[in-house]
Amino acid sequence: MIQSTTPNTLIKSALALGIAMVFSKIAGFALEVVLAAFYGAGTAADAFILAYSIPNTLMTFFAAAIGACFIPMYHRVSEKTDFTRIIMTCLLIVGLLISIVFTFIPGVLIRLFAFQIAPETFEIAVYFVRYMIWSTVFLLLSYVYDAHIQIKGAFFSSGISIVWRKVTVTLGLVLGAVFDFNLYIAIAPVVGNALCMLFLAAISRKHGYAYKPYLDIRSPDLKQVLILVGPILLGTASNQINSIISRNFAASLPVGSISHMHFALMIVTLFLALFGYIFSIVLYPHFSKLAAEGNIARLRNATTSGVVYITAIMLPISIGMFILAEPGVRILFERGSFTSEDTMSTAAILRMYSLYTYAASLAALFVRAFYAVNNTKTPTVIAIMGYVSITAMSFLFIGYLGAQGLALAWTLSAILMVCMQLVALRKKVGRLGLVDNIPEFVKISTATAIIGVGLWLVARALPLMTASIFQSILLCAILVVVTVIVYVVLLLLMKSKTVQEGLRVVMGYIARKRERV
């Protein structure tokens, strides 16, 4: 049963997913810390990052497109179990074929993702990919399981499932370094993705679905998915091409550039996963249900609510990320083989990515609104235009800014795409009502500007880069907590509806917990 998206429901679902993502991201950062400490930003790290990203990128290419079709189609089909089994069987076949083929020719994939890679890095990456490519089978099935439990409202389980993979990969990295045995590193992602899939399968079974191989190639529902999935595949392909292009640009830069970009992106994706994507994930099943019912007015209202909440959360996070880039990278990664020079290089890239977090969060919301109304063509065209703009700006900036230029290209392209999406979405579903919320946006922007100036002044006065790591952690934690409190107080003084609704839900949740105790 799909819950209605009142502000209370939206915030509760977002909180549940957010809590789960905290645990998932803690596990993810443990992985990154281990990678940085044991392998630094050199050849071995570059090879692992490249090989580890290939199955995820390939499966995002296929499975994200299927996942985008699955949720809205699920609300329209009559035989939901058979439909789900058909989709999973098709993905299982695709995953097996990809795994078998590229076990024998892994070098083709590596050259595709980084054709200018150094010979030593290439040799190590080939070994890793022969094993890691088998993750594709489990990743593909996990996408559908995850979509199913999101439809059922199990957002906490959806968010925390990735812990299995992160913990297993971290263990593999540790064992590989301790015993100097690369096989542990190579098979860890396969085992981790299998555990993640089994966890999602167990949760999905609790919600009434169990997978059994079933394929009906004459199914009209399958034909409809294939019709819808084509444009989404093109859009997804453009995103992956962007990643491949950036990785190839980075491969042409000095050794370590891939790793520096990777570690900067880890921080960006942390905040995107914890805050930026939560509202779009929570809203998507509801978007699809409203579209299936023809209730476009409520879909517009839900989209507007998502934009306001994302702005209230991600705009100040983007500013904070820019100001605290250096101490943040130092705290998270500067140990072992990760040097102070690596910290400065990674922080410089992170600053260029800072505003990307806000733009990418809005883009994810708008894309899901398009998909909910079965409009896959428009976001695909916009994605392709984004691919062209990233390529052009990468050529323009890399000569002057190096890896920082690649990050800047992503940020500017994301902002451009959001503007185009907003205009196109308004034409598709009508006036969203964002103009009516201008007073709320002004309050959020004013509060963000005030805390941004204050944070910058205080951060400059504190010894965040010269104190011990423990002291830096303590100082940054206090600084962040105080900044958040000041931001919330400022919005309350301005009578912001967004923060009032949020606090009301949180306080109600705490009160109910106390009553149960």
Phi, psi of 465 (to 5 degrees): -100, -10
Assess whether 281 and 371 both reside in one domain. Answer: yes
Residue 279 lies in a domain: yes
The pLDDT assigned to 64 comes to: 62
* Total structural domains within the chain: 2
Assess whether 238 and 271 both reside in one domain. Answer: no
Statement: residue 1 has pLDDT above 60: no
Tell me the mean pLDDT in the region 205-223: 84
Helical pair 7-39 and 43-74, crossing angle rounded to 10 deg: 160
The pLDDT assigned to 447 comes to: 94
Higher pLDDT, 472 or 17: 472
Assess whether 238 and 299 both reside in one domain. Answer: no
Contact (Cβ atoms closer than 8 angstroms) between residue 48 and residue 128: yes
The pLDDT assigned to 5 comes to: 47
Statement: residue 375 has pLDDT above 70: yes
Statement: residue 290 has pLDDT above 70: yes
Assess whether 26 and 60 both reside in one domain. Answer: yes
Tell me the mean pLDDT in the region 193-216: 89
Assess whether 37 and 53 both reside in one domain. Answer: yes
Picking from 236, 252, 268, the residue at the C-terminal end of a domain is 252
Statement: residue 3 has pLDDT above 50: no
**SS3 track for 384-450:** HHHHHHHHHHHHHHHHHHCHHHHHHHHHHHHHHHHHHHHHHHHHHHCCCCCHHHHHHHHHHHHHHHH
Assess whether 204 and 305 both reside in one domain. Answer: no
Residue 77 lies in a domain: yes
Picking from 449, 466, 483, the residue at the C-terminal end of a domain is 466
**What is the span of the domain harbouring residue 122?**
17-252
Render pLDDT for 143-163 as a digit per residue (tens, 0 to 9). Answer: 888 888 888 877 788 778 888
Band (pLDDT 50/70/90 cuts) for residue 239 is: low
Phi, psi of 425 (to 5 degrees): -65, -40
Q: What is the DSSP letter of 273?
A: I
Assess whether 228 and 290 both reside in one domain. Answer: no
The pLDDT assigned to 200 comes to: 92
Alpha-carbon span 2 to 339, nearest angstrom: 49
Mean pLDDT over the full length of the chain: 81
Assess whether 194 and 281 both reside in one domain. Answer: no
The pLDDT assigned to 42 comes to: 66
Band (pLDDT 50/70/90 cuts) for residue 251 is: low
